[in-house]
Structure 1
Amino acid sequence: MQTDSVKTYVLITGASRGIGKAIAKAFATNGYSLILCCKNHISALTDFARELENEYKIKAKAFECNVGDEASVNELFMTIEKEGLIPGILINNAGIAHYGLLTDMPAEEWHELMAVNLDSLFYTCKKAVPLMLRNGYGRIINISSVWGNVGASCEVAYSASKGGVNSFTKGLAKELAPSGIPVNAIACGMVNTEMNSSHLSQEEISEIAADIPADRICEPEEVADFAVKLAKSPTYLTGQIITIDGGWI
């Protein structure tokens, strides 16, 4: 079974910023080579990949991919297979949010959110799992949210998508357990990301932090460090939705 981090490529979706970018750096720090993808900001992601290569002496390649579109995901996997970049670890991190009343949400925004947050898991896992089975090694980690556990007012669509991520994780874990491929999810609480700061004022973020027993919001690097630990965990640890929220929910 392949366990050498130098030879194991980690495919990370939504890697150009926030949690995905922090996860990429954490795996690079631990000697893993990377396949990074994003829908936007490909130029910045390409520069970031070069920086990681130079600093950590690993291989890192950036690709433009809309993970909410099956054809785009298929093209990504066709390209990386041709280049011999076979992912042993898949981190499904790409995600978008929607804030507002459900009754005010246009149907097209609902479908887009579900495509990026949930359909993407189907597309990436459908392509990655056969490669993992063929190589006798695989790990799948899905980045979820506490709202997938309990739901949130004015974030109904986001909550529904992350609830789907959690059920998808548990179901696929049972399918792949006999093959020794663990599937787990990290349910994040409030994280210091551009996605959150773009719709919340600093005062609102401070108010939320005051409600969290840890008395602060989470940093992306904390999620990233845990993702690396989870990737190195025994294969018997599978089908789990592990919450990292400072005791908030």
Structure 2
Amino acid sequence: MELSEELLEQIGDYLSDRMAPAEKAGFENRMQSDESLRQEVAMQLEIKQGLAFLAQKQRFKTLHSDLEKRGLLKDEALKPETDESQPAEIPVIELPTSRRTELRQSWSYFSTAASVLLLVGLSWALFQNWSDKQALMAQNEKSFEIYFSPVPKPQPVLPIDPDRVAAPVEPAQARSDSVRLTEAIDALQQNDTRLAISQLTSISQGKSGHWTATAYWYLALAYLKAQQREEARKMAQQLADQNGHPYQQEARELIEHIQQNP
């Protein structure tokens, strides 16, 4: 998903609860119909929570260091009971005040440097994870565009074996399925994947026929566009195994394409 400065600002306002109620409701409705936007918001939330955790950790270390410098964390050593059998205590040599201060400052610098390195490492890991997800999403979108056609294959004119997947059905049902399929394909073309998946699922579960078989193929493409790559692959495999399916060859090619572009 291409991120503009305006979109990043909107995501930031949403996560920081700076949106007006109407604007927030509109943004949430947009997320419901846009899988890529939902994933981007989730990713930005992970980054925000990670940075907040590191900032809180750094504040705790700073407070701890300040209390230590004031001597508020100094614990009195417990005096052991006198026992002649116990070895004599080794005398503790106190470091000069200037030396103790120097060591504390060195530790503070080291702690700060370690926190910075941790922040950099976490930020890089989050960025790498985000980058991998973006690459996979782009690959799924590219695969969808290769095999998607806004015009489905026409229904065969000549009757075929009724046991085959694409056997003709009653004219009234065929016309109804054809209209519903066209509406579902239009929704898919307009990036309304949720509506398309719902409509295509309903059509594909109807009585066996050319349009129900076609709906199953477009349902596999809809899952691919919705970034559900494994579900799309499973459905394509089912079509590839069905002799006589109008999109059997395309399903085989899609499976091969997915395997070659992991």
Scaled to the shorter chain, the TM-score interval is: under 0.3
User: How does the TM-score come out when normalised to structure 1?
Assistant: 0.22
More strand by share: 1
User: How does the TM-score come out when normalised to structure 2?
Assistant: 0.21
Rg bigger for which structure?
Answer: 2
